[in-house]
Structure 1
Amino acid sequence: MLGRTHMAIGALGAVAAYPIIEHVRWDAVENILHSASAGMSHTIASEATIVLSAVVASVMPDLDQPNSMMAHRVERIGQVTVIAVLLAFVFLMHLSGSLTAWTFVIALGWLSSTPGNAARLAGLGVIGVVIIALGIHHDMTPNAAVVLTIWVIGAMFTHHRTFTHSLLGLVLFAMGVNLGLKELSHLHLVLVSDGLILGYALHLAADAVAGGVPLLWPVKHRQGIRLVRTGSMTDHLIGGIATLVFLGFAVL
């Protein structure tokens, strides 16, 4: 399915799952604004957190695809990092007055901005390095850093709809975010973990009816049906309906 369809399904799924996760009913924006309750801000923050987390994770399994929406976002991380390193090199080596150095920066900056798998790999590589650094400095539990790094490596070097679309990928992702965020409950990030796992799982469920997913990967056989073709009218229709239903629950 298209990235926007996955995002709409993730948002709607978050609304549906919120009462189960938090054991309170979903409050629409209209009800919240007319409420004098002292917990109004907490309700808004909680609902926004789980929706945004689910939306982000709803496209994360497609990081294994060079042309996916999420892959393009990660490419930007790689591009910005490359340019930042090049600029730092120029100034640290006192080459700011060198035409050759600036030509080198411009050339490599342009190459890094071209779409393709190299930029995606660079972006994922940066994410992996950041996760490792967080683990080394104990800003994230070492177990979480290891698990998430394995997931990132899997997303970098496996084909589309293989590792990241399997139960193994889901379990590693869920373990990583749960271990990484559970100790940050004082920052109210527990709902982030719930939203991320929910969005990821909904992506696999959606793709199961759009050609199937290899849940038992590395076994290549896919489980599911081809009920929806990516980019088809049905795909757009599902995304549109999910968006409208989400807005209906969220706003009214």
Structure 2
Amino acid sequence: MKGKTHLMIGTAAGITLGVNYPLEIAIVIIASSVVGSLLPDIDHPKSSFNQKILFIKNKLYKTLIYSFIGTAFTYYGSSLNDKLLILLGITLILTGITNHRGFTHSLLGLLLYTYIIKKLTIRYDIQGVYIGFVAGYISHLIADFLTKGGIELFYPFKINISSPIKIKSGGFWERFIIKGTSIYSVYILWNHMKIGS
């Protein structure tokens, strides 16, 4: 699915969770869900994230940059004896060297990224980030599971799985999902504001 679709699904997931919290935490949950819904596509050189950080949008450059950043985190974490930084470094290296819809679209990628986020939120006492990030990340995997391309859910095993019901990227059903999640998000926010007033 396209980045815009993941963004809208992630926003809807964040709003669904966030309306039950105070405003400050709700904003963090929604923002974290949006980030989580876009993050799995950092394995693609032309993803929304990589458009901002990669000067050259190709696989080789993506591999070099993420491997370099991951190695730096691993080295720095080793010098500080910080296991979380080492794990972040290894996770970024794996992100750099794997194909699109591989590691970051797998249970292993989900577990590593959400574990890192959980530990960081505990370390820095940031409420709402973890729950939003997990919801967004899972929404991304489910959405891509529904496409023809599928996902390598059990990476490192090269078994591509997808739903029997497939949604064509850019097709009618994807446009329907964008409109549906937009209407849903506005409806939930509107109802919550009416209840709160």
Q: Could you say which TM-score interval applies, normalised by the shorter chain?
A: 0.7 to 0.9
Q: C-alpha separation between the residues in 2 aligned to 1:234 and 1:149? A: 37
Counterpart-to-counterpart distance in 2, 1:239 and 1:159: 26
- 1:58 match: secondary structure: helix
How far, CA to CA, are the matches of 1:158 and 1:221 in structure 2?
14
Residues 10 and 63 (structure 1), Cα distance of their counterparts in 2 relative to 1, 3 Å cut: same
Q: Deviations over 1:177-231 (max 9, x none)?
A: 111221222xxx1311221222111111111111322211122222331521112
Pick from 99, 105, 114 the counterpart of residue 174 of structure 1.
Answer: 114
User: Greater CA deviation, 203-212 or 113-122?
Assistant: 113-122
Of 186, 193, 196, the residue aligned with 1:247 is 186
Q: 1:218 to 1:126 in 2, by over 3 A?
A: closer
Secondary structure at 2:128 match in 1: helix
Gaps of 5+ in 2: 192-197
Task: Indicate the RMSD between aligned Cα atoms, in angstroms.
Answer: 2.4
Task: State the aligned residue count.
Answer: 189
Instruction: Classify 1:136/1:45 alpha carbon distance in 2 versus 1 (closer, same or farther; 3 Å).
Output: farther
Closer/same/farther in 2, CA of residues 222 and 114 from structure 1, 3 Å limit: closer
Determine whether 1:159 maps to 2:99.
yes
Length-normalised TM-score, structure 1: 0.66
Following TM superposition, by how much is the alpha carbon of 1:143 offset from its aligned partner in structure 2, in angstroms?
A: 2.3
Q: CA deviation at 1:74?
A: 2.8
Question: Are the equivalent residues in 1 in contact too, given 2:40–2:105 (CA < 8 A)?
Answer: yes
Query: Is the counterpart of residue 45 in structure 1 residue 20 in structure 2?
Result: no
> Could you say if the C-alpha distance between residues 215 and 118 of structure 1 is closer, same or farther in structure 2, counting changes exceeding 3 Å?
closer
Scaled by the length of structure 2, what TM-score is found?
Answer: 0.83
Q: Which residue of 1 aligns with 2:195?
A: none
Q: Could you tell me which runs of 5 or more consecutive residues in structure 1 were left unpaired when the two chains were aligned.
A: 20-24, 27-42, 76-112
Quote the sequence identity (%): 25
Q: How does 1:193-212 map to 2 (within 5 A)?
A: 193-211=130-148, 212=150
Once the 2 structures are TM-superposed, how far is the Cα of residue 54 of structure 1 from its aligned partner?
0.6
